[in-house]
Amino acid sequence: MASLTIRKLDDAIKAELRLRAAQHGRSVEDEVRNILREAAGAGAISGGTPFRTATYPDRSTSSQNAGNLRATLIIGGGIAAYKALDLIRRLKDNGFAVRCVLTNAAQQFVTALAASALSNQRCYTDLFDSASEFDAGHIRLARDCDLIVVAPATADLMAKMAQGHADDLATAILLATDRPVLLAPAMNPLMWANAATRRNVAQLQRDGIKMIGPNSGTMAEAGEAGVGRMSEPLEIAARALEVVRPPSAGPLMGKRILITAGPTHEPIDPVRYIANRSSGKQGFAIAAAAREAGAEVTLVTGPVGLNDPAGVTVKRVESARDMLSEVEAALPADVAIFAAAVADWRVANRGEQKIKKTASGFPQLDLVENPDILATIAHRTERRPPLVIGFAAETEHLLDNARSKLARKGCDWIVANDVSPATGIMGGDRNTVHLISKDDGATDGVRVDSWPAMGKDEVATHLVAQIAAALQKGAS
């Protein structure tokens, strides 16, 4: 049999062959052999099917159950496009079948081949595509899905959307859709801060477009940092799921919950600070559980290495004083939960410059007390949340200290936990807590409910259930 020289095929066929081969995990030569084998068996090569894909749930079978969801992912042209490839996988993990559309600019960063291979679906790039299996491709891609995700959403793409342009496949889909649209903006911080982008963002928000991020951090451009990094694929995929399946009418629907988490950092000089070992895990878990229960959640957190929980408004701060101002700005709330390990003191005489070693001895650090955020909010006469919950992190006399904290801080409940190093609670994933609440029926006016050791997520779910029950009773 004569050998087949793939090099001599035209570019479109070569591209298609590479795509099929990648999808089937074969070399191009093996793919060609397979096609010929199939053709010999079937009698003819079908001209209508460009390549075999995984099934894409059709409208009649698609319900908004995980595993049967459909997303059209528009990949814009920015360096963050490489993260969109990971996003395909994350969306699939969350139960979405994904069809990708690449803008011309996106194709400078990632290939249609990679997007197709990862999504197991044909990838679309052209508005006028004679090879498209759809009659009017952009209409099908705009409507034959539960959600459109744009990642990265570049400044240019957002400007075109705000103006209603439709001069390429991506913008035509976005103009033709009646599905929810989720943008994950990514651009240089100066572009994000530019007045034109601000106007476009405001317009898109008015138009009901949903957004996630951008986050702050370092940029691809050397030495640049600020707000403009695309949200992480995991965060985007979680938000995508939430957009198509908003929290059902959970027990905290319509309630505003404010939570503090993590440590605070109190500067000694521009490069040093006082901190503690809090990981923020318990506060983040409570925020996620409250959101899951339908609440509108604001999480004010000190520096931690955790991703924003989906659907939660996160305010990141450094010091105790910054935390207090963000907490006050987030009022009113129905419930405030203070899980942060706030530094009790800050340095009064912090160095404006890095403190240097000298021969004359050690620097003297003068400490002053930080505001007590929990006590400040619990003692408010105006806009005091009806239910104020503190944590008591103790290393000895747990219950006695927690009871006196309940009285001293003026809160309604205290979640007490033993944080001595042997427990592994600080920074770990498990927690053993006692819920101490005011109880007029009890002899000493306090009720203690001891929970078994459990994961921090379970503690969070349990606490949220207790909160929901208390709110339902209309009393703390």
Catalytic residue numbers read 276
Sign of the torsion formed by the C-alpha atoms of 391, 396, 400 and 405: negative
How many CB atoms sit inside 10 A of residue 26's CB?
Answer: 14
Residue 231 sits in the site that holds ligand CTP (CB under 6 A): no
Contact pick of 74, 391, 412, 468 for ligand CTP (by CB under 6 A): 391
Nearest-angstrom CA–CA distance, 462 and 469 = 11
Q: How far is the CB of 402 from ligand CTP (least distance, A)?
A: 8
Q: Who's near 267: CB < 8 A, 6+ residues apart?
A: 273, 318, 319, 346, 347, 350
With tokens 């090879």, the residue in question is 131
Structure tokens at 472: 């339902």
**Of 110 and 402, CB closest to ligand CTP:** 402
Q: Which residues pair with 229 in a beta bridge?
A: 215
**Of 72 and 370, CB closest to ligand CTP:** 370
Enumerate residues 363-382 that contact ligand CTP by CB under 6 A.
370, 372-374
Decide the pairing of beta strands 215-218 and 225-229: antiparallel
**Of 299 and 340, CB closest to ligand CTP:** 340
What is residue 299's three-state secondary structure?
strand
Contact pick of 116, 300, 390, 403 for ligand CTP (by CB under 6 A): 390
- Contact region with ligand CTP (CB under 6 A), list: 149-157, 174-182, 339-347, 465-473: 339-347
The crossing angle, in degrees rounded to 10, of helices 456-473 and 281-292 is 50
Q: How far is the CB of 394 from ligand CTP (least distance, A)?
A: 7
Phi and psi dihedrals of 279, rounded to 5? -95, -20
**Of 320 and 460, CB closest to ligand CTP:** 320
- Contact region with ligand CTP (CB under 6 A), list: 10-18, 140-148, 336-344, 439-447: 336-344
Sign of the torsion formed by the C-alpha atoms of 136, 137, 143 and 149: negative
**Of 31 and 266, CB closest to ligand CTP:** 266
Contact pick of 201, 230, 317, 392 for ligand CTP (by CB under 6 A): 392
Contact pick of 181, 287, 393, 398 for ligand CTP (by CB under 6 A): 393
Residue 319 sits in the site that holds ligand CTP (CB under 6 A): no
**Of 168 and 372, CB closest to ligand CTP:** 372
Contact pick of 338, 347, 378, 456 for ligand CTP (by CB under 6 A): 338
Residue 154 sits in the site that holds ligand CTP (CB under 6 A): no
Residue 19 sits in the site that holds ligand CTP (CB under 6 A): no
What is the separation of C-alpha 299 from the centre of its chain, rounded to a whole number of angstroms?
13
Nearest-angstrom CA–CA distance, 236 and 74 = 13
Q: How many residues touch ligand CTP (CB under 6 A)?
A: 17
Size of the chain in residues = 476
Enumerate residues 256-315 that contact ligand CTP by CB under 6 A.
260
Phi and psi dihedrals of 343, rounded to 5? -65, 130
Query: In 3-136, where does DSSP find H-type helix?
Result: 11-24, 28-42, 81-93, 112-119
Q: How far is the CB of 246 from ligand CTP (least distance, A)?
A: 30
Binding residues for ligand CTP (CB under 6 A)? 260, 320, 338, 340-342, 344, 370, 372-374, 390-393, 405, 409
